[in-house]
């Protein structure tokens, strides 16, 4: 499978004297969903900020769709869609206007745009709110708009950070079903979440971060092995707990 996201020997953070990330390397391939997990402060958000191009690596490199941000800014940014933990919308734009703006940004036009919008609005139960201004939406509905924008773009890579906060059960189900669909079509997905049971159920591989380093990487069997467990039994949560506590209760 083609590698869509490549993070190579990345060291970075807010200060060159005190890096948050220490020589981390991983990839996300086309047609797979990878779970990024760790305690608060483990470096997950800093990793995502480097991928988004909001922070510059102190050393190492990040490639999306085969290029770094410096090599081809337009190709790099067009190759991913991002769903942040907290929704960021324009208060004076409606749900439909947000989708139209995204369609223009990602050059989604014509029948493809119309079909995708109608499908998304129906799947995420937003038909009654399609003309509503963002300022009149609940947090969960705002999150649905962020998710619909990302899915409308249909990029090679999705970066999804704690997407379930504020979503109702139907919204969570709709998002997970849609992620399975885009993965089957060949998209690469990097999803960060604290809900380990969901991560275990839907992700193909896992990245476990702790103190700015990757302490386990691979399938559930690989993570169990890194935790000193039997490779064929035990949940992701059990393995994660052993890894971040050093095996101590």
CA atoms within 13 A on the CB side of 190: 28
174: tokens are 């709709």
Is 245 part of any domain? yes
Is 140 part of any domain? no
pLDDT in tens, 94-117: 999 999 999 999 999 899 999 999
**For the chain, how many structural domains are there in total?**
1
Domain that includes residue 1, residue range: 1-73+195-249
pLDDT in tens, 62-80: 999 999 999 999 999 999 9
Is 94 part of any domain? no
Is 171 part of any domain? no
Q: What is the pLDDT of residue 247?
A: 61
Is 143 part of any domain? no
CATH number of the structural domain spanning residue 1: 3.40.50.300
C-alpha span between 162 and 146 (Å, rounded) = 12
Is 215 part of any domain? yes
> What does the radius of gyration of the chain's CA atoms come to, in whole angstroms?
18
Is 16 part of any domain? yes
pLDDT in tens, 207-230: 999 999 999 999 999 999 999 999
Q: Is beta strand 213-218 parallel, antiparallel or unpaired with respect to 188-192?
A: unpaired
Is 83 part of any domain? no
């Amino acid at each position: 499978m083609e590698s869509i996201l490549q993070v190579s020997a990345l060291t970075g953070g807010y200060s060159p004297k005190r890096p948050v990330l220490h020589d981390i390397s991983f990839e996300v391939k086309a047609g797979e969903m990878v779970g990024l997990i760790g305690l608060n402060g483990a470096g997950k958000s800093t990793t995502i900020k480097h991928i988004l191009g909001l922070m510059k690596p102190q050393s190492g490199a990040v490639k999306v769709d085969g290029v770094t941000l410096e090599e081809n800014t337009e190709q790099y940014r067009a190759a991913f869609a991002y769903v942040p933990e907290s929704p960021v919308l324009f208060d004076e734009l409606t749900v439909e206007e947000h989708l139209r703006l995204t369609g223009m940004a990602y050059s989604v036009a014509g029948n493809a745009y119309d079909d995708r919008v109608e499908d998304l609005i129906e799947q995420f139960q937003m038909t009654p709110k399609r003309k509503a201004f963002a300022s009149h939406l609940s947090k969960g509905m705002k999150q649905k708009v962020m998710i619909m924008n990302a899915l409308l773009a249909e990029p090679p890579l999705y970066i999804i950070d704690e997407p379930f906060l504020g979503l109702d059960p139907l919204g969570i189900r709709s998002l997970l079903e849609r992620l399975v669909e885009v993965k089957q079509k060949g998209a690469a997905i990097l999803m960060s979440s604290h809900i380990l049971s969901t991560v275990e159920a839907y992700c193909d591989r896992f990245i476990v971060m702790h103190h700015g380093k990757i302490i386990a990487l691979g399938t559930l069997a690989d993570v169990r092995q890194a935790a000193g467990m039997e490779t064929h039994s035990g949940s992701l949560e059990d393995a994660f707990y052993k890894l971040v506590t050093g095996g101590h209760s």
